[in-house]
Structure formats: structure tokens, C-alpha cells
Amino acid sequence: MHARELAKLYPVEAIWVLGISAKEVENISKLTIEEINELSKCGRTLMRIKIPEKPNRVVGIQGLTILMNAEAGNEQAA
């Protein structure tokens, strides 16, 4: 929300403070509240993904899907 307001009111400052391009500032300033809420839900989901203990281990898309479905089930149960 803060980024959107900054992009709307002070686009040059948004470019400097947020470190984004003018095109990104334009896109952010056009976001609706619903779009921001949806993006924040995606961000929270991604932040909950556990990083593997071994640096050379890669989590495949199937494992990622299982993790996301498990989180969705936990949130619905709460």
C-alpha cells in the first residue's frame, strides 16, 4: 500500500527509494486494493517455503505443489 501511494504521489522518489524502474512505478500506481491483497497472499505463501538444508538439493515443482497445498489446508483448518 505504501509503495502504491508513493508511486502515485511521488513517482521520482519511488524510483529512488524502492530502486525500481519508471515502468514498474507506473504499474504499481495502477494496482487496486484487491490486487495488492492477492499479491500479499502470494508473498506470504512464498515466504513459508522451507529452504532445503543441503545447498545442492533442489525442490522440484511437485514438492513445491505439495508444500503449497499443505499450507492451504492448514490455513483453512485454522
| 75 domain residue, yes or no | no
* pLDDT band at residue 77 under the 50/70/90 scheme: very low
Q: How many CB atoms lie within 10 A of CB 49?
A: 13
Residue 76 C-alpha cell reads as 483453512
Q: Is 15 domain-assigned?
A: yes
**Residue 24: which domain range?**
1-41
pLDDT tens by residue, 5-62: 888 999 999 888 888 899 999 998 999 989 988 888 877 655 555 555 655 555 555 5
The continuous run of DSSP H or E covering 38 comes out as helix 33-47
Is there a domain that residue 10 lies in?
yes
d(CA 53, CA 51): 6
Please list, in sequence order, all residues whose beta carbon lies within 8 angstroms of the beta carbon of residue 59, skipping any fewer than 6 positions away. Answer: 49, 52, 67
Count how many domains the chain has.
1
Q: How far apart are CA 46 and CA 56, in angstroms?
A: 20
Instruction: Check residue 68 and give its pLDDT.
Output: 59
Would you state the pLDDT for residue 62?
Answer: 55
Q: What is the pLDDT of residue 58?
A: 54
pLDDT band at 70 (very low <50, low <70, confident <90, very high): low
